[in-house]
Amino acid sequence: MYKVSICIPTYNRCEHLINCLNSIILNKGYRNKDIQICVSDNCSTDDTEMVVRHAQEKIDIVYHKNEENIGIPRNFLNVVNMANGEFVW
């Protein structure tokens, strides 16, 4: 079990997602066994999936892309349900 799950719900915000994931990648204290990264993509039409796939080359990311936009509240619940950490952020 992970200590912390970082949950990132997103929709068509790939430029912000790049910054977010890069800050995790560049964090010297990041260790895969302690932190889980979860991204729930609410059926984005931009380059969100490409951004996540590129970041997955450097860190483990649990990624799910919804087949249709399910709305903000359900996407938030979806990403939290993906988490396995003792704590969820």
Over residues 58-77, the pLDDT tens digits come to 999 999 999 999 999 999 99
- Which pTM does this prediction carry? 0.93
Q: What is the mean pLDDT of the chain?
A: 93
First CA to last CA distance, the chain: 15
> How are strands ordered across the β-sheet holding 35-41?
61-65, 35-41, 4-10, 87-88
pLDDT-based confidence at residue 80 (cuts at 50, 70, 90): very high
User: 68-83 in b/e burial notation, b at 16+ Cβ within 10 A?
Assistant: eeeeeeebeebbeebb
Pairing of strands 61-65, 87-88: unpaired
E strand intervals along 16-76:
35-41, 61-65
